[in-house]
Structure 1
């Protein structure tokens, strides 16, 4: 992200400087003055955006906390267990790694990133216990992280919240597009990981480069600190599974949502957010959750999250504001906009597509800048596309760095290739479905 941030700012400055040298005072404000104004306005706009996001973020994380306390993660874990034992034949059915991976996927599907990361680190630690070649990724690790980078998001709560804060008339209208794109990305992630494994055989690291036992222990200690009490909260009942026919019906139900959401997405979109509110509250009551107290606890986390993103939003929105005010964006649109637009990818959305695998905060800032641009807006085709990209893909390089770093894996084999292939599939899927529904 350091390089990306510097490149954007430097490109904007050099473009504005070139235009300044050729500027005629009779034409009005100078490019450098416009650049200065854009920097100040973008910084203020980033803070206003984050403050406006506080209320919506606290609402959604409060509802998610009710679902989590009610055991929704465990229910999902039991549903997908029969699929997991087939995807990961190297992992014993009752091994702790299996339960941790299931909970990680379930948390990701619900948009519970704060819960997904500790479960993911725990899964990698358990998978490493089965690894005969320390320091080298196993096929199970590569497949697990490839699926993670494909996002497998069924409920992109963060993106919906940001769209609502940006004034969208239908903030949940991206649910059908996100579902389609994430299914494409996840399917390709699994296929790519299984295929690429044949081309990247396991080659153990030299003995001198293999992680030492004490180093591994230290890495696990750091991970345990990051997990806090989440690690101890892994439900033991998540290792059990529902009967196969129940899981099959649930899978068919999810697959059936894809054509229904495509055909009737615009009709059901206004019902989604009120329905989620009522549904989660009733679910919590049915499970004996003290919904008011738990909602408030989750809302506190949402408030903190919204405030923590202010520095990231200021940095990226100032850089993007400079890029646009300098004329660099206009030049890029002029050069390649016609070609990419013919493929369904407007030039304004290109930075978002390129940044998403590199930096979650950077892509988040670019999306926020686009949907808050009065000339584009959250409900335009471009606004829908970047919202779908944000909700249906993951920050590949960040995921690999955090999860492999927790167990000191240096030879990642085909993991990155599978993750980037999934990212590409998600982008293509997002373009196709957005063209179909909003193009």
Structure 2
């Protein structure tokens, strides 16, 4: 119900704002841009796709996802038949049994969630989505009410949406291409902000589900992960920009190939029919990618209307006006559009970040803040549409509110860190 109200609000607000602009401010072309506008049209004032192009974009995303889904779900199928997922579930079980009390020990869902979190941590977005969708399907098997999100599904999705990432390589590359004097200077604030958002998501959902986060097992895992991240930061700050990018590529892509290698070796040891297992799993990837099309189209058209109507510009101007009225520093406001668009559209937020850095400079306060915000949050509504849509969940309960609160924690942390690191 919450998602339905948000979706309806997006459309209503967008059309009302556009109508006011059309009839009171003489912007007669606004309805045309909202429906048939193309981002690559030189005459398009907002450089944003309209409804028709957005529908094509949604379908293209799903079509491109088919191959990736087939690849990773194929290997996932091999790992399941060889017992790799069960082994992973047993290793992480003591921690997950406390955080996901409804998931039985050793259940495959645990292994799927670990694979998803690991892919996110390494910045492997293409791998994270198939693993995440597989985790949602596994959790759906345990869900007693198939059209309502379970506690475990909400906890998983909120942790996933917090987007804990070690090194934001793509953002560093963009800053480098825009002639930043020190492109890597934002990776520590990004890492800290995503870690805070992840902890906020865990605490918010745990409070709602009455999970005691001060249990020794949970504390041990959280402190252990925190220590590993701290040690990694100490090592990474000693690397040059080129060294950091090379290390990230070796770490992420090397680990991915290592996982594939170990899966095949394990399957051969267990005498599994590797190719048939892969094909069987790949079929599921195709079906899942097709199934999410209507959910993704619905969400993206609402976001498109909200953006093309200019509602975001009104919000930004309002924030800047209030800050100026209160005598507060308004420098952060120029970086805020990235944070507002990121929950709605990853590509839109990336474009906004580049626009901010191009306008104000990659090493300006606004440019640095937009980069940190881009690296410290995730596309919340895209995730909701795709992941809940894949398992036909209609009642998302408190998932949306929890994700947005975690996003807010990440945004506040990002702004605070930007002032601390860059003044």
Under TM normalisation by the shorter chain, which class is it? 0.5 to 0.7
CA gap 1:268/1:80 in 2 versus in 1, 3 angstroms = farther
- How far off is 1:334 after superposition? 6.2
Match of 1:145 in 2: 157
Distance across 2 between alignment mates of 1:385 and 1:176? 13
- 1:408 has 2:392 as partner: yes
1:388 to 352, 360, 372: 372
Q: How many residue pairs get matched?
A: 321
Structure 1, unaligned runs of 5 or more: 19-36, 44-64, 199-243, 290-311
Pairing partner for 2:410 from 413, 426, 435: 426
The residue number in structure 1 matching 2:126 is 114
Which of residues 242, 253, 273 in structure 1 aligns to 2:245?
A: 273
2:338 match:
352
Distance 1:99 1:15 in 2: 56
Q: Is the contact between residue 176 and residue 258 of structure 1 (CA under 8 Å) also seen in structure 2?
A: no
Which residue of structure 2 lines up, in the alignment, with residue 335 of structure 1? 321
Please point out which of 114, 118, 127 is paired with 1:102: 114
CA RMSD between the two structures:
4.7
- Mapped partners of 2:108, 2:259: distance in 1: 26
Distance 1:438 1:266 in 2: 19
The runs of 5 or more residues in structure 2 that have no matched partner are: 1-9, 28-40, 48-71, 211-217, 262-299
The DSSP-based 3-state class of the residue aligned with 2:343 is coil
Aligned to 1:251: 225
Question: Does the aligned pair in 1 maintain the 2:169–2:248 contact within 8 Å?
Answer: no
C-alpha deviation, 1:164, in angstroms: 2.6
The one-character-per-residue Cα deviations of 1:262-286 (angstroms, maximum 9, x if unpaired) are xx95986674224435667887999
Q: Distance in 2 between matches of 1:142 and 1:287?
A: 27
CA contact (8 A) 2:167 2:248 kept: no
Q: How does 1:157-236 map to 2 (within 5 A)?
A: 157-197=169-209
- The answer (yes or no) to whether the contact 1:389–1:427 under 8 Å persists in 2 is yes
Q: 2:356 aligns with which of 367, 370, 375?
A: 370
Which whole-Å CA distance do the structure 2 matches of 1:335 and 1:344 have between them? 9
Is 2:363 the partner of 1:379? yes
> Given the two structures, how large is their TM-score scaled by the length of structure 2?
0.61
Relative contact order (C-alpha < 8 Å, sep 6+): which is higher?
1
Deviation for aligned residue 1:162: 2.5
Task: Kindly indicate whether the alpha-carbon contact (under 8 Å) linking 2:88 and 2:110 is maintained by their aligned counterparts in 1.
Answer: no
Contact 1:79 1:247 in 2 (8 A): no
Which deviates the most, 268-277 or 167-176? 268-277
In 2: Cα distance, 1:146 partner to 1:382 partner: 28
**Which aligned segments of 4 or more residues in structure 1 are displaced greater than 4 angstroms?**
1-18, 37-43, 73-82, 246-250, 257-261, 264-271, 277-289, 327-334
CA offset at residue 163 of structure 1?
A: 2.2
Tell me, yes or no, if the aligned pair for 2:168 and 2:375 is still in contact at 8 Å: yes
C-alpha deviation, 1:362, in angstroms: 2.1
**Partner Cα separation in structure 1 for residue 205 and residue 130 of structure 2:** 23
